[in-house]
Structure 1
Amino acid sequence: MTNAAFDGLLTAAGYGNAHAAFARQLNHAGREQGAWRYDAASVYWWLRGRRPGEHVQEAMAETLTRKLGRTVSASELGFGASHSIGTCVYPASVDAAIDAVEQIWVTLTKHLQRQVDGSFDSGKALQAALGWRYDLPDQAVSRRGRQQVTSTDVQSLYALVDHFTDLDRRHGSGSPHTRAVMADLLGRQVGPMLRGTYTDPVGRDLMRAAATLAGQLAFMSYDAGEHAMAQHHVTLGLRLAKAGNDRLYGAHLLANLATQAVFLGHAREAARLAEAAIDGAGRAPATVLARLYATAATAYGQAGERRASQLSLKKAERFLGQADTELGPRWVGYFTPAHLAGAALRCLGDLRLYPQALRHAPAALALGSQNTRTRALHTTLVALTYARAGDTDAACAWSRTLVQDAAAVQSVRVRQRLRELTTNLRMYRASPQLNEALLALAATPAAT
């Protein structure tokens, strides 16, 4: 659908068939913001619904004001209210990615107290995978802006990533406060850095750091049930990772997108996303490949593809066995044998291979104290697998033990798994033990 208001203003100003000329004038109007590189393709996407940042809209209005000889306000451009996050499109350029991340951080900060409109779009997810995998690399990302950015500045961003990652794993992402704080920091600190002055090497590292922050906020949004917001951040993180020449983190983000698709029941699309991640990672460290193949195994398991799921699981186990001899990037350090065992428990359970699945239960629970949410997820999964296998005594026993773990986190994913467990237990004939377990589950704060 064409943005009729913007199209009409362009035509009235003589830019109807001269989109490249308008882009050049816009770049000139926004020169104080840095070296903008908008072109005719940028104008095309704005006409098709992509929403530029508010500072870009102001420059658009300024450009049209000069051309038309009358005042044009940003509200006349037809881009809608800032609370809409629009269509999740993989940005064609670094400038478009910077515009989009700034806009979405502002939106998230202003509207965390209510659900932002939108849902997961598996078609757009696959398009993002294709763009990340096959678009040409960015030749340069250096720019000139108001703020000088150094390597030391960029390193401080990685400390932010570590802080929010630890909070997320210990407490879950259900509280909007943590995401509000993170979005505010991104909007006030990282956004201006992206529009600052930096050399190409510093810029590449800045793109990698910003991609990591976007990826962390994406995962937190996914855990909180904000699936459109999560997909937007993964998509933009993919684009920033590509600008930073970080194919491994891009593959990791694509695997996260596959994990989200599995959660939402898009099994076949999830499998394609996981395979694209594996293909794009290339000759990656063993721990990275183990994580990617584990994701593929869960996607194939949900799809009922027994052979593909078990083959992916075997590859994940083999690669993780090689991990001691190969150091991977810092962000993959979380993936331990316990995480792989949890994936095995999940995919083999989905394939109804319950005895095989439950052999992984002890390893799935061998987690560090910082992995509170993962422990709750895995413990609930063990109980659920016993329930599906028909062993109600074991399912009830595990249901009682998981209450303490589940109560410690705020997570939509934990709540969803608790609901699945409750539904499965209710299928069996009532007994004092079963009633006790159901009452314990109903009283768990995470279940409400």
Structure 2
Amino acid sequence: MARPVTNAAFEGLLRAAGYGNAHAAFARQLNHAGREQGTWRYDAASVYWWLRGRRPGEHAQAAMTETLARKLGRSVATTELGFGAVDSIGMCVYPASVDRAIYTSEQIWTMLGKHLNQHASGVFDSGKALEAALGWRYDLPDKAVSRSGRQQITSTDVQSLYALADHFTDLDRRHGSGSPRTRAVMADFLVRQVSPMLHGAYTDAVGRDLMRAAATLSGQLAFMSYDAGEHLMAQHHVTLGLRLAKAAGDRLYGAHLLANLATQAVFLGHARESARLAEAAIDGAGRAPAAVLARLHATAATAYGQSGERRACELSLTKAERTLDRTGTDPGPRWVGYFSPAHLAGAALRCLGDLRLYAQALRHAPDALNLGSRNTRTRALHTALVAMTHARAGDTDSACKWSQQLTQHTSGIESERVQQRIRALTRTLSAQRPSPQVNEVLHALAALPTVT
């Protein structure tokens, strides 16, 4: 039995324009109107779902108003279509089904395009983050993700998405994501190319790989948004990525995304919620490769360090160190290859410093700075952390020395996280006894370019 129409406004416009029983013809007109948008493949089924509550992207709505206006002989406003506003969608809500995840993905990616030059309203919602973790961990697996559509999707099509994700990951690590330019390109690609692919035709095997690739792109966009200080938007993207990873049946990548959410929660001071997210990731990952477990335990350590739970922090660090030692025989998926001894040392430096165990923390400083040439942002973050730990320990001379080095490592990096570390270092140094050396360093830090 067909589902009842829920968008009466849209149905009325279709009937008035002569498309009441010609949904396929209306879809063809949309494809023609959107020929400059890329490979649109809307059909009668698309119209069916729009009539029953699914919300098309703003680019498709613009084509609808153009097509209907031409037939009706008058202008048509998007508000007449009956789809509501993008901003009204609860996009931190973990989608209950694959169809809902596909539908929501287009809305989130479209919303990103709207807000690239302004901060999205709202704040990180730790409650919604925990709900997403529960949904990812305990919801039943999807039995099938195959679809019937006009555009046939192949394994070769999906592989091109992974290559693009690698490209954006490299740009992010080298230059940061404070500038909206890179995210604008990525958002445009997701809306114009990836969303139509998700609505296309594919087998279950290809569909799961496509979901994994879309989760990878959404996860990368989430991390870039987090690095840029767009925390609500980052949570939107990582929640979607979790659901797509669930559809793909990839529990390891889902655990990785959940750990990213925990990292964001630590950054924002939600230590206890972060610990719960990290533990859920560890539990959900199961018998994971050593590199994946090392990263997850390191994330848990930073959460416990911030919440002042010394025993749990040190236990997590020990687990991370032991598992990382086994990565030579158990390297894990290629996406976790970034996590090196330097990244673990940076986590140890952070969490032990939070526990005010400064001498122990600083033992990890040399390893934390033993980074590859591509990790320019991480080098800046770790250098600032070393300087701040020296300052908190009362060693002003060493703090100033490392602060001077920091000024040399921030060139070309646009990252709100780096800016936050610089601000924290400035506050810590400002509290020290005034001296010409401290004043010189403070002046140098104040002169560093900020993210706009």
1:219 paired with 2:223, answer yes
Aligned to 1:64: none
User: Cα RMSD (Å) of the superposition?
Assistant: 2.9
> C-alpha distance in 2, partners of 1:447/1:36?
43
For residues 300-354 of structure 1, the C-alpha deviation after alignment (integer angstroms, 9 at most, x for no partner) is 1000111001100100000000110112101000000000000000000000000
> C-alpha distance in 2, partners of 1:447/1:428?
27
Question: Is residue 338–residue 363 contact of structure 1 (8 Å, CA) maintained in 2?
Answer: yes
State the one-letter code of the partner of 1:310: E
Aligned to 1:306: 310
> C-alpha distance in 2, partners of 1:209/1:221?
18
> C-alpha distance in 2, partners of 1:358/1:327?
28
Question: Is residue 331–residue 337 contact of structure 2 (8 Å, CA) maintained in 1?
Answer: no
> Cα 1:447–1:398, aligned 2, differ >3 Å: closer, same or farther?
farther
Tell me how far 1:113 sits from its aligned partner. 1.4
For residues 388-433 of structure 1, the C-alpha deviation after alignment (integer angstroms, 9 at most, x for no partner) is 1111110011101110112331000000010000000011111011
Tell me how far 1:174 sits from its aligned partner. 0.5
> C-alpha distance in 2, partners of 1:117/1:132?
26
Aligned to 2:119: 115
For residues 141-166 of structure 1, the C-alpha deviation after alignment (integer angstroms, 9 at most, x for no partner) is 10011211000000010100110000
Pick from 403, 408, 429 the counterpart of residue 399 of structure 1: 403
Aligned to 1:419: 423
State the one-letter code of the partner of 2:384: T
Alignment of 1:355-394 (within 5 A): 355-394=359-398
Pick from 91, 97, 108 the counterpart of residue 93 of structure 1: 97
Question: Is residue 53–residue 100 contact of structure 1 (8 Å, CA) maintained in 2?
Answer: no
> C-alpha distance in 1, partners of 2:414/2:247?
34
The alignment's TM-score, normalised by the length of structure 2, stands at 0.85
1:232 paired with 2:236, answer yes
How many residue pairs align between the two structures? 412
DSSP 3-state at the match of 1:335: coil
Aligned to 1:255: 259
Question: Is residue 279–residue 300 contact of structure 2 (8 Å, CA) maintained in 1?
Answer: yes
Pick from 432, 435, 439 the counterpart of residue 436 of structure 2: 432
> Cα 1:251–1:33, aligned 2, differ >3 Å: closer, same or farther?
farther
> Cα 1:75–1:446, aligned 2, differ >3 Å: closer, same or farther?
closer
Question: Is residue 298–residue 347 contact of structure 1 (8 Å, CA) maintained in 2?
Answer: yes
Question: Is residue 130–residue 273 contact of structure 2 (8 Å, CA) maintained in 1?
Answer: yes
DSSP 3-state at the match of 1:334: coil
> Cα 1:306–1:37, aligned 2, differ >3 Å: closer, same or farther?
farther
Pick from 278, 286, 290 the counterpart of residue 290 of structure 2: 286
Question: Is residue 306–residue 355 contact of structure 2 (8 Å, CA) maintained in 1?
Answer: yes
Runs (5+) with no aligned partner, structure 1: 1-5, 14-25, 62-71
Tell me how far 1:52 sits from its aligned partner. 6.5
> C-alpha distance in 2, partners of 1:92/1:211?
16
> Cα 1:404–1:104, aligned 2, differ >3 Å: closer, same or farther?
same
> C-alpha distance in 2, partners of 1:33/1:434?
69
For residues 230-279 of structure 1, the C-alpha deviation after alignment (integer angstroms, 9 at most, x for no partner) is 00100000000000000000000000000000000000000000000000
State the one-letter code of the partner of 1:255: A
Aligned to 1:193: 197
Pick from 342, 346, 349 the counterpart of residue 346 of structure 2: 342
State the one-letter code of the partner of 2:263: T
Tell me how far 1:82 sits from its aligned partner. 3.4
Runs (5+) with no aligned partner, structure 2: 13-22, 28-41, 66-75
The alignment's TM-score, normalised by the length of structure 1, stands at 0.86
Tell me how far 1:86 sits from its aligned partner. 4.0
For residues 107-129 of structure 1, the C-alpha deviation after alignment (integer angstroms, 9 at most, x for no partner) is 21233112222211000000000
DSSP 3-state at the match of 2:86: coil
> C-alpha distance in 2, partners of 1:292/1:107?
30
> C-alpha distance in 2, partners of 1:411/1:85?
28
> C-alpha distance in 1, partners of 2:402/2:212?
41
> Cα 1:54–1:439, aligned 2, differ >3 Å: closer, same or farther?
closer
Tell me how far 1:183 sits from its aligned partner. 0.6
Aligned to 1:206: 210
Question: Is residue 35–residue 144 contact of structure 1 (8 Å, CA) maintained in 2?
Answer: no
Question: Is residue 101–residue 243 contact of structure 2 (8 Å, CA) maintained in 1?
Answer: yes
Aligned to 1:32: 43
State the one-letter code of the partner of 1:342: G
Tell me how far 1:38 sits from its aligned partner. 7.3
> C-alpha distance in 1, partners of 2:410/2:398?
18
